[in-house]
Amino acid sequence: MQCFAGNPYPLGATVHEDGVNFALFSANASQVVLCLFDSSGRETDRICIKQSNRHIWHIYVKGIGAGQRYGFRVDGPYQPHLGHRFNVNKLLLDPYTKALSGKFIPHDSHYAYDAGSKDEDLSFDNRDNAAYMPKSVVVDTRHVKQAKGPMRPISDNIIYEMHVKGFTIQHPQLDDDIKGTFAGLADDNIITYLKDLGINSVELLPVQAFFDEPFLQAKNLSNYWGYNSMCFLAPHPGYLAGDDIFEFRAMVDKFHQAGIEVILDVVYNHSAEGNHLGPTYCFRGIDNASYYRLHPNDQRFYINDTGCGNTLNITHPRVLQLVMDSLRYWVQVMGVDGFRFDLASCLGRESYGFDRGSGFLDAVAQDPVLCQIKLIAEPWDIGPGGYQLGNFPQEWSEWNDRYRDTMRRFWRGDGGMLAEFARRFHGSGDLFEHSGRSPSATINFITSHDGFTLNDLVSYNERHNDINGENSRDGHQENFSYNHGVEGQTDDKTINALRLRQQKNLLTTLILAQGVPMLLAGDEVGHSQQGNNNAYCQDNALSWRDWSAEENNNDLSDYCKKLIALRHRYPLLRHPHFIHQPESSKEPGLFWFSRQGEVMSKSLWSESQTRTLSLMLTGFLQGDSSTEQQALLLMLNADDSPNTFCFPEVAEIRRWNCVLHTQDMHSPDEEYSPKQCFELQDKSLMVFHAHLIRT
């Protein structure tokens, strides 16, 4: 083994024919040591890196290659009040590591200070933590071919939010050795299920390597969701069936072959190192003052716009470079089709506040790789001015919580919701259209990983999070849910029938609304978390997909399949532009009516006690190749009582055909006269189709 100066670029460990180049950024370090380990985790060599070019420490080690385990020890001042937390006794992960070897073991030696003192500024811990830390692994990506995904417009996507482990761990047809892994997710049984459901895009909860928070470790709980990332280029080891990280790429390729896109939920707003009393794994020990946003008056403390203890300093050019390099890696090497950015307001925040022209957002916009993929923002954080729904650049889509809350309140029966319902169903044009964005800017969802499941939304008035160990103080307090008479599960057939109708109603307005629908995995079969609306630490059957539930909820599952098929069948349900009153018969139209079939007027919109509404879409429903105009009509009864509905007067329609309904009292007729009126059951809806006859 021989050592040479090497090169400062690219950062991380780069494999060459006869060795490996290592490059690590640290602006404030006084010394950087490269530590090499064998496959058992035993340290074999320590090499002092002497070359530093523009704050990048680099060295070329000849005689090693892919599979080499390594880490860094970084020395410098330990002055927390000035933002410096160097401790050369701590083995640190490479921010650019692409794989990890060995398990993370919680231990007090991970703290740079004496963890028992509770004052990190007055103590210094000399213990070596290497025995308890996973090691970075050198990975050779030189010969990986770039993946080719379906590349469909996001307006055509049906997004399915799922958890790698939770979705597969209990599947009865998977081999035990691949349950809970990327290989399990790539199994034909899983892909067939998704295709039969009509899903063409999966959004995976975080798969970048993450650690459990110390406070969860103390309670024998774990971070099940994974929103505690530590290594932005490495797949989470717990999701690998073996040691090969390209198991992830093989999964992506299988999804692409089935016409399904893969979107990753990514966390670049904070790291697993926590607040000023947290452990040292990577960034904190490499260059705390560069990687994190610190309070200007006392740099011992972190700015906490994330609620997770720290906030990454995305405005620093090297931190921004790390995020951009990570994103390109997951696209070009691992093959993913897009990203959903957790707490994305953090990424767009400059020193003066959120800016849609921030360094990060501009960097993404001009990047020749990232400008072509799906970009989805969670448009809020807890920092000042953190709620930014509707304010991201044109190429972005955004999670729309106003859609979520409106649909929940409308079907719960809240008063005064008609106008707000119409705005959200129309694609939230009031939030997005003014800046030239399309309906695909809104990611519509009723439920997500964070909050009640669909079943629990109609079964619980209150959150029941006691098993999380926080006395049910965690999780959303206002869920706009309703238990319909009994809190939790019941044998009452009338209540259960009503709850089933409500789940179908909510799914219908989700799938048929303008915008991009996102379905939470398991909602199509009525998965319940027993009222827990913050199951982030429940890595157990409470959160895992119950595959036996599919057999018990065929009615809901079949209905969901029909809904999704309807959206795929009619492109007008996913129109690329906002639909308004048409100026000619050739343009698509969206019309709103009262249950009596009258065109909605200002006075009708303002009736606070009215809980019924009808809407009609007209146009070339089969796409641009169709020469026949058609119409879809949706009648909604969110009232607690049955109501009589009449069809709107449309001269070009001779008959209406019922294509979907959520009633359980009786089966509606298949055909209806345009002049016909009929009773629609309480808390139910009907969907009709008709041909427009032009004379």
Single out the catalytic residue among 94, 125, 337, 378. 378
Residue with tokens 């991380």: 12
Is 121 part of the annotated catalytic residue set? no
* Gap between the Cα atoms of 538 and 475, Å rounded: 13
Measured CA angle at 431 (ends 428, 434), to 5 deg: 110
* Gap between the Cα atoms of 640 and 593, Å rounded: 20
- HSE-CB at 99 with a 13 A cutoff on CA atoms is 20
Cβ(368)–Cβ(324) below 8 Å: no
How many CB atoms lie under 10 A from the CB of residue 324?
Answer: 17
Question: Buried (b) or exposed (e) across 255-264, using 16+ Cβ within 10 A?
Answer: bbebebbbbb
Q: Which two tokens stand for residue 44?
A: 């074999």
Cβ(264)–Cβ(303) below 8 Å: no
* Gap between the Cα atoms of 5 and 653, Å rounded: 79
List the 684-691 sheet strands across, edge first.
589-593, 612-619, 630-637, 684-691, 656-661, 671-672
Cβ(351)–Cβ(267) below 8 Å: no
Cβ(681)–Cβ(665) below 8 Å: yes
Q: Are strands 349-350 and 353-354 parallel, antiparallel or unpaired?
A: antiparallel
Q: Which two tokens stand for residue 89?
A: 């006794």
* Gap between the Cα atoms of 514 and 509, Å rounded: 9
| Cα-Cα-Cα-Cα dihedral sign, residues 617, 619, 625, 626 | positive
Tell whether omega for the bond before 134 is within 30 degrees of 0, i.e. cis: no
Q: Read out DSSP for 17-46?
A: SSEEEEEEE-SS-SEEEEEEE-TTS-EEEE
* Gap between the Cα atoms of 194 and 561, Å rounded: 10
Is 378 part of the annotated catalytic residue set? yes
Measured CA angle at 657 (ends 655, 658), to 5 deg: 145
Single out the catalytic residue among 342, 381, 420, 639. 342
Question: Which one, of 288, 441, 433, 270, lies nearest residue 349 by Cα?
Answer: 270
Outline where DSSP puts E strands in 452-533. Answer: 516-520
Cα dist. 367→147, 319, 328, 372 in Å? 18, 16, 9, 9
Q: Which residues are catalytic?
A: 342, 378
